[in-house]
Structure 1
Amino acid sequence: MGSIAEIQQWIHEQLRTTPANDWIQIPRIDLTRLRERRLPTRAELDAAASEHPVVFNWQYGSRQIQVLNSAALRAAKITRDTPEPVGGKSKIVKDANGELTGVLENPGGLTAKYRQSKPVSDEAFVTALKQVHRSYNRIGITSVIERNTNIEGYRAYEKLKTAGELTVRATVTIGFGSHNTIEEAEKFTHSLPFRFRDGDDWVRVGPLKIFVDGGILYGTAYMREPYGAQANQFYGFTDPDYRGSANFTLNQIENMMRAAHQAGWQMCSHVTGDAGVDLVLDALERVNRDYSIKDRRYTLIHAYFPNPAAVRRAAALGVCVDTQPAWFYKDGDALADALGEARLTNFIGLAEWRNGGVKIAINSDHMHGIDPNKSLNPFNPFLAMYVAVTRRTESGRVIGADQRVSREQALRMTTIDAAYLSFDETKKGSIEVGKLGDLALLSENPLTCEAERIKDILPLVTVVGGKIVYEAPPR
């Protein structure tokens, strides 16, 4: 959905099948993707559904904003006289006359019981996972790094493999959670029923992951400099010195790193802001004084705002970067307007990382939807390559042309360099004698076709393990 009108139309469609007392929960939509670049209002949600509870939820990291229509406010028993929860960050937003706007900031228990997710059976989860993998095959993907799950998620991959229904190879990342004291971190790593690199060439245990900050699309990335007045207006902040925040202290991050390193694990961090990257590198340097971590290929996931100092430090520690050019394509225009174009010149700065000697992979961070180009995070690898080569946003605007990379470099970032992050470069990532039989036959050559056509390349055949897992229908 790309506009408030489309959200309203979607709500109309849900009214036909949603029971009267069930809340209609609008799927995750980032404000950068809406034509209006703002939250829908209570009145706009009322116009779509006056008697049925509806909630728009905008959330990532430590910040959550909801917009409720009038029916949802009534159902939750929230009035202009409802007190805000004591001791938390919850806020019931009102207008100048003291009337409810429908906006709730970090609502917590105010709405939680009305928004509970319906349980999903193991069978339904595995079936859905299989469908997602088939969508990947249709765009030429043969391997994935599942970037955050748990023991049960890993077992789901094993079930597909045992049943002979796994059509992509998977390295599975395990979330570390908030086990941030030495004792808690060691207890967590020792409690896991597997160890790093357990498994086989189809399903393998990957790194442990910690979430250091939030996201730049939500104003929760931890930045070196304040977001600025224009950004504060877009995100809804009032503090002129606001820089976002980190989820953990330096000592807590170090504790988790030490426990994981001593237990033989690779690690990775969700970290989007430049100050967040500084924090991770500070902790890594502390650990590196006692144990060499250079061969562990610690990975920064996202790391959207590289700078020379961070690049030098990362290269010295053998740190890798895993980032998402499709976000530049989809969100670059809105972010340039909010943060200023100068700040966007090195946003997802592939050339900066690469020229500094840091191994980098480009990918999707796919979460919602199964269309390769229209999902919340598009997973079309050729779109990622196109953006890496052209630095064009969806509107055609070029921002930070000096961060372009060559076609061959972009191809390597999608294949052999991505395999390096999971210690698989000797088995996959290139077509060579002795490597796994995974490949895709493409409609055009990304190294020679017109640059604008790179994003439109399609696989004709996708092969995994020597078996055809997708074949395009005859034209």
Structure 2
Amino acid sequence: MIDSHAHMDREGLKNVFPSLGRVRSIRDVQDRVAELARQKAPGEWIVTMPIGDPPFYFDVPDILAEKRWPTRKELDAAAPNHPVFIRSIWGFWRSTPPLVACANTEALKRAGVTRDTVSPLRELVIEKGANGDPTGVFIEDGMQPTAELIWFRKPTEFSRANRARGIPIAAKAYHAFGTTSIFEGHGVANEVIRAYKDAYRDGTLTMRAGLVFSPDWKTAGNAKLGSLIESWGGWLGEPASGDDWLKLTGIYANIGRQPGDDVRASASPYTGWAGFNYDTGLPRERLKEVLIQCARNDIRAVLNSNSPGVIDLLDEVDREVPLKGRRWVVVHISILSPRDIERIVRMGLVLTSHTNSNIYKEGHTWQARLPRERQRENTPLRDLIDAGVKVGLITDNVPISLFWPIWESVARLSRVTNERIAPEQSITRAEALRCATLNGAYLTFDEDKKGSLEPGKLADLAVLSADPLTVPESAIRDITADMTMTGGKIVHQVPNG
């Protein structure tokens, strides 16, 4: 099983800070914070994971009896001698804003947040009470948390040791669902590359990993990017640097930036939950220059489908330097027209889906944006596979089982409406399994080495808890691995399994 967009490093960070547990009231939150306070010396920071139930953190704060967030004074009552900070979620876990973090009075004081503090972003609100003082609640209308990066970075920071320890922990979690290889299509920053290298060096890397480089464009300043890209050809060009366990292959980029990207990038080289650099976006014409140079230097590019006009841009690059055979990648596919698919085929692009978000969690909103005659264009897996396009399935780290996107690709059910999203785009179970195996190997030019059980291929396999071809459709997503093997070694096994 090959996860074509895993963000696996994040899974190993979820236990760095304590969980609040299954809280159902502000009193529950206070009790848990008080418990944590008893374990720390006075004055020490208490930083916790978000309020809500992982992995999705749906329906907050409505799951709390009060249906609101705890204030600084309520957190003060639980831990009067400590600064307290409750993190927000990483927005893509749930796929909907807002992101909300909570701090007590001492935490606000240490962060320098007062009644006079002005948010640097319209999308980030410092909630204030009737008297003008901060309530301790930070509300963000975005998907990538900013408050913790600019005001609470030090106490919330993931250290190099955290990241290094996290890689084998994360791999173990993914192995439990049969995953043997990953491709980090969103790109990874230096601190994540270093964590993978640490695990590789000390022999604890049990997951085969293809990493895409996440550039930090602001460090380039006004340099000529064409010359910079040419200088990268030796280590980022194909064939990829590395071996069958760890390889670095290509760069990630996108068109333009979100309003908060520059603010978040000010924390560089630290990247928080992201694991990628926040300033990977470039103005369209500058990105076109970069992509043309990438093609000329055999550096594979990975772009995000959510960038408007990405297929148009690649079409322009293709006219300068033909892309066929280079296996450039477009990730997180959403709306693709028949004309888009024709061009994807012509350029030989490889795609990765995002069914956890675009079908299960937010498929109903995508459909509402489209006229009825175009609704079949939402994640059109049937049309893509019929056209011969290679599509890899992804978890995006939530949930970490590939059997969720396999189920979503077959059933195409909306969590919200329980209706099938563009049902004519459903693919068969066998096709979905191929997308989660051999097509993932194709992403890294490894289809002759892995992705299927054949003599001479790498000894990577999983023994599953049920047959995905025959279980009831609704049970596909519940499949786990009884045993998982990579490189001929058992890396996961259910006791007595």
TM range (shorter): 0.7 to 0.9
Query: Aligned match of 1:76 in 111, 136, 142?
Result: 111
- Give the CA deviation at 1:413: 0.8
Provide TM-score, normalisation by structure 1: 0.75
Q: Does 1:35 align with 2:59?
A: yes
Change beyond 3 A, Cα 1:468–1:8: same
- Give the CA deviation at 1:174: 1.1
State the partner residue of 2:348. Answer: 318
1:247-284 residue CA offsets vs partner (Å, 9 max, x unmatched):
4321122122123222211111244x3xx141x22322
1:135-161 residue CA offsets vs partner (Å, 9 max, x unmatched):
222221111113432456445444544
The 5 A counterparts of 1:5-154 are 5=25, 11-27=33-49, 33-36=57-60, 43-44=70-71, 46-50=73-77, 51=80, 52-57=83-88, 66-80=101-115, 82-84=116-118, 92-94=126-128, 98=132, 100-104=134-138, 111-112=151-152, 115=155, 117=157, 119-121=159-161, 125-147=163-185, 148-151=187-190, 153-154=192-193
Change beyond 3 A, Cα 1:99–1:42: farther
Corresponding residue SS for 2:325:
helix
Change beyond 3 A, Cα 1:2–1:340: farther
Query: Aligned match of 1:454 in 476, 479, 482?
Result: 476
- Give the CA deviation at 1:415: 0.5
State the partner residue of 2:288. Answer: 254
Q: Does 1:429 align with 2:460?
A: no
Letter in 1 for 2:319: R
- Give the CA deviation at 1:299: 1.2
State the partner residue of 1:391. Answer: 412
Cα distance in structure 1, aligned partners of 2:183 and 2:205: 14
Query: Aligned match of 1:342 in 336, 351, 368?
Result: 368
Cα distance in structure 1, aligned partners of 2:346 and 2:23: 45
Cα distance in structure 1, aligned partners of 2:120 and 2:406: 49
CA-atom RMSD in angstroms? 4.0
Cα distance in structure 2, aligned partners of 1:87 and 1:160: 37
State the partner residue of 2:228. Answer: 187
Do the aligned partners of 1:181 and 1:255 also contact (CA within 8 Å) in 2?
Answer: no
Letter in 2 for 1:34: F
Letter in 2 for 1:117: E
1:17-57 residue CA offsets vs partner (Å, 9 max, x unmatched):
35544444443679973323689856456434433432443
- Give the CA deviation at 1:323: 2.3
Corresponding residue SS for 1:468:
strand
1:92-128 residue CA offsets vs partner (Å, 9 max, x unmatched):
444676454545566588624654515333xx54332
State the partner residue of 2:323. Answer: 293
Cα distance in structure 2, aligned partners of 1:192 and 1:292: 18
Do the aligned partners of 1:189 and 1:263 also contact (CA within 8 Å) in 2?
Answer: yes
Change beyond 3 A, Cα 1:289–1:55: same
Do the aligned partners of 2:50 and 2:101 also contact (CA within 8 Å) in 1?
Answer: no
Change beyond 3 A, Cα 1:169–1:76: closer
- Give the CA deviation at 1:390: 1.0
- Give the CA deviation at 1:448: 2.0
Do the aligned partners of 1:2 and 1:35 also contact (CA within 8 Å) in 2?
Answer: no
Q: Does 1:171 align with 2:206?
A: no
Cα distance in structure 1, aligned partners of 2:359 and 2:104: 32
Letter in 1 for 2:389: V
Do the aligned partners of 2:353 and 2:379 also contact (CA within 8 Å) in 1?
Answer: yes
Cα distance in structure 1, aligned partners of 2:102 and 2:453: 50
Structure 2 alignment gaps of length 5 or more = 1-20, 93-97, 141-145, 262-278
Cα distance in structure 2, aligned partners of 1:29 and 1:207: 37
Change beyond 3 A, Cα 1:419–1:313: same
Change beyond 3 A, Cα 1:313–1:102: farther
State the partner residue of 2:485. Answer: 463
Corresponding residue SS for 1:206:
strand
Cα distance in structure 1, aligned partners of 2:147 and 2:38: 28
1:47-75 residue CA offsets vs partner (Å, 9 max, x unmatched):
344334324435669x9865444443344
- Give the CA deviation at 1:291: 0.7
Do the aligned partners of 1:30 and 1:58 also contact (CA within 8 Å) in 2?
Answer: no
Structure 1 alignment gaps of length 5 or more = 221-244, 367-376
Percent identity, please: 24
Letter in 2 for 1:176: P
Cα distance in structure 1, aligned partners of 2:335 and 2:36: 39
Cα distance in structure 1, aligned partners of 2:36 and 2:200: 36
Do the aligned partners of 2:327 and 2:348 also contact (CA within 8 Å) in 1?
Answer: yes
Cα distance in structure 2, aligned partners of 1:130 and 1:357: 36
State the partner residue of 1:202. Answer: 245
- Give the CA deviation at 1:302: 1.0
Corresponding residue SS for 1:294:
coil
Cα distance in structure 2, aligned partners of 1:87 and 1:341: 30
State the partner residue of 1:268. Answer: 302
Matched length:
428
